[in-house]
A and B are shown apart, each in its own frame.
Chain A
């Protein structure tokens, strides 16, 4: 047990070390990645002074925002339908919803690229958004469905028996119970979309390109401190949105968000 504990500590140390190096050296005064010579914001200044890198940052944020809005809406509706509809094609749709989750990113990227070029859509930020939405819907559906399935349907029935219309029941009974999960799913999708490289790489146009695609091109020209700064900025955005995804629903709704389903806690 003591050996196991020592191993676990070592494990965490090694898994955080590379990230710590990126963050620490993003504040280095010199170009060196071997010696830390002093604290400066030089590389952040360079990042924000570059018009094209700023453009990429805003492009990434726009993509993530648009993806979040559309995917959360479609995914929530889909979850509602999958749990509550008794359509003949519900099981088939369920499979269609789950397959994107296990599709390797490169397959997703190739298929999206082919679709857009075959219908003659010029590659741009729009095509990136369309691809991101496609592979975000399922995350929303899985998270929201976990929460929806746990709802007590008798409350809905009671509301309708007492004369509430369908719309009123949805708005006054179902949505208030559901929104912590919807919010959590939205923040997760934002983080996933902001971080995504492979899909963006296959579907982006020339300019502006999403930030991860810019990192990819930059790394191939060698290791530079500016990449450390971009990496640290991206890290902050992702950590904040994922932390909010877990914490906000609990703070505001005092309920389980349903995110646990993605951590396999509720998996069969």
Chain B
């Protein structure tokens, strides 16, 4: 092949440029994941130190009646978070895409801005607002118990990850030809039926992308459950964190991490196949 075809493309230098980053990711990302899987079959010595071996019991413990509710709760909370993000975020994305006009970019920036603020600080802000002696109870003169409830934890997750839903949905709505909606109105009459038959199917891939982007971090989150909830609302992230800080059962923590990883990987594959199908049709 002509080495100079298309400038630096196919150049030996370009191939060498792959090396540092590629080796780094191999050593610091791929290898550690393999260590997690390896240690998930390990056990602990008398002092709590981790040793490798073949102890698949770690995995039966993951599905023990003691821990199964925590896994189910994590998935339940994450699904509720996705549903709420969609319900709360879709109208905002719709308003910006259709009626944002010249201020579209400003409005998108306003969506992103709260998410630039540290997630811990944002969650802490809700603690300050909702605590028994917090601002909301102070202003209303009430003593309502907001914290330590599933609602507070799910609310924290929604507030934490809402932008991940709004942005892809907005992108899908923005790409959509407004003439489609006009045609839909001529065809179906009501706005609602136009939405159901035209807008929703057209933007469905954006909704799907947003759902994955919200679900992934939500299901592994431990900050919201720790700060806004209590032991009764702990999620798998809290369980994993406890194994490494406190309980010192690293092999069990690794098994939990592996299960979480495989579970999410499964969903990613399903999503990518659906997205690939959508591109083909």
Does residue A59 face the partner (Cβ distance < 8 Å to B)? no
Instruction: Report whether B32 and A115 are in contact in the complex, using a CB–CB cutoff of 8 Å.
Output: yes
The count of A-to-B residue pairs whose CB atoms sit within 8 angstroms is 272
Closest residue of chain B to A84 (Cβ to Cβ) is: B14
Taking beta carbons and an 8 Å cutoff, which residues of A are in contact with B?
Answer: 1, 4-5, 7-8, 11-12, 15-19, 21-22, 25, 33-35, 73-75, 77-78, 80-87, 90, 93, 96-97, 99-100, 102-107, 110-115, 118, 130-131, 133-135, 137, 141, 153-157, 159-161, 166, 169-170, 173-174, 191, 195, 197-198, 202, 212, 215-216, 219-220, 223, 227-228, 230-231, 234-235, 238-239, 242, 263-265, 267-268
Specify which of A85, A104, A130, A157 is in contact with B17 (CB 8 Å cutoff).
A85
Residues on the A chain within 8 Å of B113, using CB: 16, 239
Instruction: Report whether A11 and B92 are in contact in the complex, using a CB–CB cutoff of 8 Å.
Output: yes
Closest 6 CB pairs of A and B: A156-B7, A34-B138, A78-B21, A81-B18, A104-B220, A18-B125
Instruction: Report whether A235 and B18 are in contact in the complex, using a CB–CB cutoff of 8 Å.
Output: no
Main secondary structure of the interface of B (DSSP, over half): helix
Q: Determine the interface band of chain B, counting residues with CB < 8 A from chain A.
A: 35 or more
Residues on the B chain within 8 Å of A18, using CB: 122, 125-126, 128-129, 159
Residues on the A chain within 8 Å of B247, using CB: none
Specify which of A5, A153, A220 is in contact with B7 (CB 8 Å cutoff).
A153
**Known A104-B217, A202-B244, A242-B116: A78·B22 in contact at CB below 8 Å:** yes
Residues on the A chain within 8 Å of B162, using CB: 15
Does residue B260 face the partner (Cβ distance < 8 Å to A)? yes
Question: 27 A-B residue contacts at CB 8 Å?
Answer: A5-B95, A7-B92, A22-B124, A25-B128, A34-B133, A75-B21, A81-B17, A85-B10, A96-B25, A96-B26, A104-B264, A105-B220, A106-B240, A110-B36, A110-B240, A111-B257, A115-B32, A131-B28, A153-B8, A160-B4, A160-B8, A173-B7, A195-B118, A195-B119, A212-B118, A231-B124, A267-B171
- Expressed in whole angstroms, the Cα–Cα distance for A16 and B96 within the complex equals 17
Closest residue of chain B to A15 (Cβ to Cβ) is: B114
Instruction: Report whether B167 and A263 are in contact in the complex, using a CB–CB cutoff of 8 Å.
Output: yes
Residues on the B chain within 8 Å of A174, using CB: 8
- Expressed in whole angstroms, the Cα–Cα distance for A56 and B99 within the complex equals 45
- Expressed in whole angstroms, the Cα–Cα distance for A162 and B258 within the complex equals 55
Closest residue of chain A to B5 (Cβ to Cβ) is: A157
Closest residue of chain A to B205 (Cβ to Cβ) is: A268
- Expressed in whole angstroms, the Cα–Cα distance for A268 and B217 within the complex equals 21
